[in-house]
Amino acid sequence: MSDSVAALRLFCRVARTESFTAAGREVGLSQPSVSRIISKLEKDLGAALFVRSTHAVKLTEAGADYLDRIEPILASLDEANHVARGDGKLKGRLRVGCATSFAVREVIPRIPDFVKEHPELQIDFVLTDSMQDLIDQAIDVAIRFGELADSTLVARKIGETRRMVIASPAYLEKAGTPKSPADLAGHQVVVGPAGMGTAGWKFTKKGKQLSVRVEGQVTVNVNEAATAAALAGLGIITTSYWGCKSEIESGRLVQLLPDWEIGTVEVNALLAGGRDAKPSARAFTDFLIRSFRNSK
């Protein structure tokens, strides 16, 4: 890739992260190197793209207009390069945003064949249970659980998973096994991101709906921690089947109230750039859809 194109890509990342340091970290460059490249770009253009201060880097009006025009061009260049190669192999860098537990348990174990097929593609996993901003964090494809807000992004369904109420045998031996959702009111509940909070867990059985308020001594903000808390005997949790599959199969955790439904969760891939998404983002999404379909 030419130095000029690399400089343009770096400009876009500085603009989105508002930081020379953060942008440099993404591509393995020091802050002074990034600053030098951006300064040369500004000199070549004859325009100031950023206003620099000790606290932040902000786009100038000219810089904002330049960003709006350059990002689609770079996306089109990626597409053109992919088509021109004609071999179906992908190059460059693909950034995948995903919840930590789902990535570790379900996504990463599936991708050896994809990596083998595209040995020149660099895949960066950006893992967090919080909502990611695809533009600001340069995420090419984000895997999201639950209902999607209205968006101009293209969403493709990967699959869906049912929620389960689970606990460890040790906890149940100590506290007893709930026979109905109402019994949960007398139990310790670990509230996590996959749960529905203290406002209540909503159950359905043969058209009958029931909402139960739950309380607990322990609250966690990542799903893997909720599963760990259940394993430690701290209480009952609700999570997706994908978040506890191996523990259920091994007997380390037990499903409760199997006759009651607590909902299903749809899993979607959101592609940055919409219909102009990177070829690698589209290919990776296609791969995941096939993989999850074949594993049913």
* pLDDT tens-digit series, residues 137-161: 778 899 988 777 656 678 899 999 8
Q: SS3 of 163, please?
A: strand
Q: Are 281 and 94 in contact (CB under 8 A)?
A: yes
Q: SS3 of 137, please?
A: coil
Q: Given pLDDT bands bounded at 50, 70 and 90, which one contains residue 201? A: confident
- 2/140: higher pLDDT: 140
Q: Which stretches of 9-89 are assigned E, i.e. beta strand?
A: 50-52, 57-59
Beta-carbon contacts of 248 under 8 Å, excluding residues fewer than 6 positions away, are 164, 166, 241, 254, 255
- Average of per-residue pLDDT across 102-107: 93
Evaluate if residue 173 carries a pLDDT over 90: yes
Range with top average pLDDT, 21-25, 198-202, 251-255: 251-255
Residue identified by tokens 């699959």 is 159
What domains lie within the chain, and their CATH numbers? 1-85 (1.10.10.10), 160-264 (3.40.190.10)
pLDDT tens, position by position, 269-278: 988 876 678 8
Evaluate if residue 75 carries a pLDDT over 90: no
pLDDT at 115: 93
Q: SS3 of 245, please?
A: helix
pTM of the model: 0.71
- H-run or E-run covering 280: helix 279-294
Q: What are the φ and ψ backbone dihedral angles of 78, each rounded to 5 degrees?
A: -60, -45
Structure tokens, 287: 């791969």
pLDDT at 90: 81
